[in-house]
Amino acid sequence: KNEVEQSPQNLTAQEGEFITINCSYSVGISALHWLQQHPGGGIVSLFMLSSGKKKHGRLIATINIQEKHSSLHITASHPRDSAVYICAVNPWGGSQGNLIFGKGTKLSVKP
Amino acid sequence: NAGVTQTPKFQVLKTGQSMTLQCAQDMNHEYMSWYRQDPGMGLRLIHYSVGAGITDQGEVPNGYNVSRSTTEDFPLRLLSAAPSQTSVYFCASSLDRDEKLFFGSGTQLSVL
């Protein structure tokens, strides 16, 4: 059983669409990370959340600790947003060694 | 700041060879870790360190060795490479446990 589940696994959108990627987890956490990985590229941290909502440009991340759920929204999507988006959680009481990763959501934005 | 510097970007080894993947950060981060990324598996932790002189095993440590003699450097050693170690490797660091993660650019390793 995966402790971090992302949905959808794959997502294709048209340029300009509003996109939502979901992350559900089954353990108590102290923080949740959203990461972005472009094809053949490195991994970049988008957000680190422990509560509420964060916004950076066209990206918005929310977390509901009680429901153990987080969403990543992309407004006015663009082909350069095409990437794999990865959710990762820090369980309570563990060290960084306990970071649990989702398998990622592959997003493709068509012009 | 250069961030997290990881070398090499590509490497091809023969079975049984040894090598070291280098990882250095200039942000004075205490937490450093090594992950491997395989298709369909997501990122898996190999080894991590919470400070100089302190290391611990992750989910998939067999066949790998690490040391942390300085805050800046966290090399990953493959002792005797096997085809199962063909993967993309990432080094990461953070200031503290619940802080933003910074990743190196990755190493694509093939073991023949």
Express each pLDDT in A73-82 by its tens digit: 999 999 999 9
Residue B55 CB coordination number (10 Å): 19
- Token digits of residue A18: 């509003």
pLDDT of residue A101: 92
Q: Which of A12-16, A36-40, B7-11, B15-19 has the lowest mean pLDDT?
A: A36-40
Q: What distance in Å separates the CA atoms of residue B64 and residue A100, rounded to the nearest whole number? A: 20
Contact B102 A50 (CB under 8 A): no
CA A73/CA A60 separation, integer angstroms: 5
- Residue A94's pLDDT band, with cuts at 50, 70 and 90, is low
pLDDT of residue A4: 93
Has residue B42 got a pLDDT over 90?
A: no
Taking the C-alpha atoms of residue B89 and residue B35, their distance in angstroms, rounded to an integer, is 6
Report chain A residues whose CB lies below 8 A from the CB of B90: 42-43
- DSSP conformational letter for A71: E
State residue A96's pLDDT score: 57
- Residue A52 region, left (φ>0) first, then alpha (ψ -120 to 50), else beta? left
Whether residue A2 is predicted with pLDDT greater than 90 in this model: the reply is no
- Mean pLDDT over A97-107 rounds to 88
Taking the C-alpha atoms of residue B109 and residue A94, their distance in angstroms, rounded to an integer, is 30
What is the least distance, in Å, from the CA of A75 to any CA of chain B? 23
The counts of H helices and E strands in chain A are 0, 11
The Cα-based distances of B78 to A49, B4, B63, B66, B109 in angstroms read: 34, 20, 6, 9, 11
Q: What is the pLDDT of residue A99?
A: 84
- Count of CA atoms in the C-beta half-sphere (13 A) of B26: 5
Sign, Cα dihedral of A23, A24, A27, A30: positive
B105 touches chain A (CB under 8 A): yes
Mean pLDDT over the full length of chain B: 94
**What is the band of A10 on the pLDDT scale with cuts at 50, 70, 90?**
very high
In angstroms, the CA A93 to CA A96 distance is 10
Judged by CB atoms closer than 8 Å, whether chains meet at A42 and B41 is answered as: no
Mean pLDDT across chain A: 92
Write out pLDDT tens, residues B48-98.
Answer: 999 999 999 998 999 999 999 999 999 999 999 999 999 999 999 999 878
Q: How far, CA to CA in Å, does A77 sit from each of A10, A28, A41, A56, A91? A: 15, 32, 20, 14, 31
Query: CB–CB of A70/A32 below 8 Å?
Result: yes
**A96 touching chain B per CB within 8 A:** yes
Beta-strand pair A10-14/A105-110: parallel
| Amino acid A102: pLDDT | 93
